[in-house]
Structure 1
Amino acid sequence: MLRSALGLCQRTAAAVRRRCAHPAGRDRGATPVELAIVFPAILLLTFASVQVGAWFLARAVALNAAQVAVSSTRTLNGVSPAAGEAQASSFIADTGGWLVGWNIQVDQGPEQVTATVTGTVVSVIPGVNWSVSQTAQGPVERFTEEGP
């Protein structure tokens, strides 16, 4: 009888040591709960970084479209500002839709051409509507008198 009681005490002490040595056993199910709490924040950060990338792409598209409008309007045998707007609009349409609801304005003066492209960045996160406006300008090609 003493032997069985001693064996029971030893087994109980061993079980307690095992339980104290491995505290992870007491945290069963904690990882899914932590993931459920942290996952929405990770998802929001992912979509926010994609939205920022879309903003940078839309800015690049707007600037390149303005440069296309200026380049086509400022040459010596250049076309009208309306044709520059059409070429810029065609450029934006071919770039993949990063810039939506765009507006192009080309102003041609006697010495300078200015093109401004405005629009809205495509929205990855619902309710986020960022505007983009880029301007390019260049001199009008013309004949000048040769100096002495």
Structure 2
Amino acid sequence: MLLVVIQFALWAHASHVAASAARGGADAARVYGAAPTAGDDAARLILAQLGGTVLTGTGVQLDRRPETVTVTVTGNAVSLLPGISLPVTGHATGTLERPTP
């Protein structure tokens, strides 16, 4: 029972890491004049700093629309229980910054 509780805590932490990486990626991508890879790079940097031990098999997807940008971070929470794979997803959407006249 204790392993199940710890596994849930690891999954919850991995979910927060994925959400933070998605939020950071969206923030970087929505800045006026940002490079096309700014969101992806920022999300991957946050994953490297925060999620190295709790989040594995990560992927970052950036969807840029005319007015918004969405970053989705996926991965799997590290598993203590054999045969269990717990997927994690984080999403963040932001409006692209535009200069005002």
TM-score (norm 2): 0.92
Shift of 1:90: 1.6
2:32 counterpart (76, 92, 114): 76
Q: Cα offset for 1:127?
A: 1.1
DSSP-derived class of the 2:70 partner: strand
Match of 1:118 in 2: 74
Paired residue for 1:132? 88
- Counterpart of 1:85 in structure 2 is 40
1:62 to 6, 18, 22: 18
- SS of the equivalent of 1:87 reads helix
Matches within 5 A, 1:1-148: 45-80=1-36, 82-95=37-50, 96-144=52-100
Does the residue aligned with 1:54 lie in a helix, a strand or coil? Answer: helix
1:101, CA displacement in angstroms?
0.3
Consecutive unaligned residues of structure 1, counting only runs of 5 or more, are 1-44
RMSD between aligned residues: 1.2
Higher relative contact order (CA 8 A, sep 6+): 2
SS of 1:94's partner is helix
1:18 corresponds in structure 2 to none
Aligned to 1:23: none
The structure in which a higher percent of residues are strand is 2
Larger radius of gyration: 1
Paired AA for residue 123 in structure 1: S
Q: CA deviation at 1:140?
A: 0.2
Any gaps of 5 or more consecutive residues in structure 2?
none
The C-alpha deviation readout for 1:113-140, integer Å capped at 9, x for no partner, is 1000111010111111010111100000
Task: Give percent identity, aligned residues only.
Answer: 35
Whichever structure has more helix as a proportion of its residues is: 1
TM-score (norm 1): 0.64
Task: After TM superposition, give the deviation of residue 79 of structure 1 in Å.
Answer: 2.1
